[in-house]
Structure 1
C-alpha cells in the first residue's frame, strides 16, 4: 500500500510541465527509491536523555551524512521517551562512520551508545525464551 502511494506521488510529480519541479523529481527520486526498497542503514541509539527530540537527534547525526529519519521511541501511555531511538542513513559508509564517532559521546548530558539496529529476525534469534504457559505436570497422566 505504501509502495502504491509512493508510485502515485512520483507519477504526479513527473507529469507536471514545470521544469523546476521535474528537476526536483529527478534529484529526489533516488532518495525515495532507497527509502521504499529498504536500502537504508539504521542505527540504534541507546541512553538518550528524556529531553532529546527527534530534531536534536537528527542534527547530531547529520554531520556524518544524509539522515533520512530520526525517531525516538516513546511510551504509549505517558508519551515520554523510553531512552532509545533510531537514525536511518542513506548509505552504509555514513552509518558506520556515525557509529564509530558517536558511540560513547555525550548528547544532551547523557552518554549515548550507538550500534547497528537489528532486524526482527535477528532479535528473535538472540535466544530469548517465549513463555508458553504453565509447565505440564510430571507423573500422573
Structure 2
C-alpha cells in the first residue's frame, strides 16, 4: 500500500517516517519529496508498506497526529494520473 503523508515538518527525515510507520508493519520504502531548486523538503512524502492491512492500520492510527511539532495528514496515496502536456509543437511545414 502506498501512503501519502502531508504537513510534514521541513526538518523531518525519511528515517523518522520509517521509524514511525514500522511500528505498524513492514515498510518497503519511504520518500520525502525534495524541492529540486532549494534542496529542502516540500513538506510531504510517501510511505510504501508491504501489507495493505498494516498500511490501513497506520493510516487510522497516525492521521491527524503530531510528528515533530506538526499535525500530519496520512491517507492512501492516489495514483498519479497521466499528465497531458500543454506543449504543442508547431507544424514547421511551410506552404
**Same fold, TM-score > 0.5, yes or no:** yes
Choose 1 or 2 for highest CA Rg: 1
The structure in which a higher percent of residues are strand is 2
**What SS is found at the alignment partner of 2:5?**
strand
Runs (4+) off by over 2 Å: 129-133
Corresponding residue number in structure 2 for 1:54: 14
Cα distance in 1 for partners of 2:37, 2:87 equals 27
- Deviation at residue 130 of structure 1 after TM alignment: 7.3
- Deviation at residue 77 of structure 1 after TM alignment: 1.0
Cα distance in 2 for partners of 1:132, 1:98 equals 40
The structure in which a higher percent of residues are helix is 1
Cα distance in 2 for partners of 1:73, 1:49 equals 12
**What SS is found at the alignment partner of 2:54?**
helix
Alignment of 1:101-120 (within 5 A): 101-120=61-80
**What SS is found at the alignment partner of 2:38?**
coil
2:37 is the alignment partner of 1:84: no
For structure 1, the residue ranges without an aligned partner over 5 or more in a row are 1-40, 134-141
RMSD (CA atoms): 1.8
Tell me the number of residue pairs that the alignment of Structure 1 and Structure 2 aligns.
88
Corresponding residue number in structure 1 for 2:32: 72
